[in-house]
Structure 1
Amino acid sequence: MSDDHLIEHRIDQQELLRGHFLHAFRDTVRLPNQKTATREYVIHPGAVMIIPLLQDAQGLKVVLERQYRYPIGQVMIEFPAGKLDAGEDPWVCGQRELLEETGYTAGEWARAGVLHPVIAYSTEVIHIWFARGLKLGERHLDDGEFLDVFTATPAELLAWCRDGQVTDAKTLTGALWLQNMLSGDWPLTWQSIA
């Protein structure tokens, strides 16, 4: 089946902003019915989110963060995540971000998939990785980065998602992956780090 009846074609482009982190454009597009419209969107470098699994004497827990997010003016509960550097492999980025933000390294990793958190106005793609076999070391936060690291059971996290305490799109998607992985419905292929 062809998607031609849905596809829009750019006929003009205007740069709106070239920031340190984001690049914004306003494009004029030709719609499938031959009319024109404008589309404003942001080019994003991409990111990685890690779902760290910590097994302790009380059972399975996930490692989470609390971080103030300026655009919405709230402290948010999130899985560890960070932006990709230019040309950086997502798995390498995941290892770097897990250590920098939480102090943990992981003995095993599993790629879950990707998500596009804001498809209406951004090119952002977030690569989802699970990590287990965690060992705690010293974290190395970026200059100007402030966050709390804590653990919760999967049931606690899912209750916070249900009750609206967790509203971050990537963390909600991560909770869905976690729930389905734990039920056996979405199996993962684990890789050990030598």
Structure 2
Amino acid sequence: MDDEASAHAVPPPIRRQRVVEVFRNRFGTLFNDEVLSPSGKEGRYLRWQWSGSGVVIVPVGPEGFAFVPTYRYSIGGVSLEFPRGGCEADEDPAVAAARELREETGFDCVPSALRPLGVIHADTGLIESAVHVFAAEVGPTGSAGARPVAEPEAMESVAEPVWASRTEVVKWLQSGTVTCGVTLAALALAIADGSGTGSGPPM
């Protein structure tokens, strides 16, 4: 937290009295902890903990930003998103980001070429785990003009990346075309970083 933010009033914490695990699988663990509110009232609080840190990659290039049309089962429809996923056991976030980028878009980018943009929390009211944000300089085509081929995981459904200039992205935001919270947060960090100027003028 920066100096300006830390100068604001700080609300008292909700204190965890007892950890209560209610569900676990290979992706993460759901807790329904016993907590104590600032007023002294006892209650419960749901908390999801991913098995590893998350990563989201902002693909940028001459055409602006690349978004991946992704079918999301939870909303029953297609969502325009930046590539994202999770770190495997003991996997460095940059390595995970390069892997997820390749799997979901076909774009190759070595981990050392990724530019860290910051860390976000996808839903501070529920999800404990942090998400590392990276920018990746990529092109609309692969080597020798070949179109990159994505190799998503078995339970993923993605289509060919869609490129949008910053000007087009503004229109998407105004029309509600992009609603994924992780993508919107990563986009904000990328804009603050000056990424994805593309063919459009600065915002």
Interval containing the TM-score (normalised by the shorter chain): 0.7 to 0.9
* Greater Cα offset, 122-131 or 172-181: 172-181
- Alignment match of 2:39 (pick from 28, 33, 36): 33
1:152-167 paired onto structure 2 within 5 Å? 152-167=164-179
Q: For 1:112 and 1:84, how far apart are their aligned partners in 2?
A: 17
Displacement of 1:133: 4.6
Displacement of 1:12: 2.1
Greater strand fraction, Structure 1 or Structure 2: 1
Identity among equivalent positions (%) equals 28
1:89-168 paired onto structure 2 within 5 Å? 89-106=92-109, 108-134=113-139, 136=142, 137-148=148-159, 149-168=161-180
Letter in 2 for 1:111: P
Structure 2: give runs of 5+ residues left out of the alignment: 1-5, 143-147, 196-203
Check 1:15–1:158 CA distance in 2 against 1; reply closer, same or farther (3 A cut): same
- Alignment match of 2:14 (pick from 5, 8, 15): 8
Q: Deviations over 1:97-153 (max 9, x none)?
A: 111111111363210001101111111311110011546244322123221122121
Letter in 2 for 1:91: A
Maintained 8 Å contact 2:20/2:33: yes
Structure 1: give runs of 5+ residues left out of the alignment: 184-194
Q: Deviations over 1:21-73 (max 9, x none)?
A: 23111111123333312111111232111111122xxxx32111001111111
Letter in 2 for 1:93: A
Q: What secondary structure does 1:26 align onto? A: strand
Letter in 2 for 1:74: G
Q: What secondary structure does 1:24 align onto? A: strand
Maintained 8 Å contact 2:102/2:151: yes
Letter in 1 for 2:61: L
Maintained 8 Å contact 2:58/2:135: yes
Maintained 8 Å contact 2:54/2:85: yes
- Residues matched between the structures, number: 179
Task: Work out whether 1:72 is the aligned partner of 2:75.
Answer: yes
Structure 1 residue ranges, 4+ long, deviating more than 4 angstroms after superposition? none
Q: For 2:118 and 2:94, how far apart are their aligned partners in 1?
A: 12
Displacement of 1:179: 2.5
Maintained 8 Å contact 2:118/2:189: no
Q: For 2:71 and 2:122, how far apart are their aligned partners in 1?
A: 19
Structure 2 counterpart of 1:54: 61
Q: For 2:74 and 2:132, how far apart are their aligned partners in 1?
A: 22
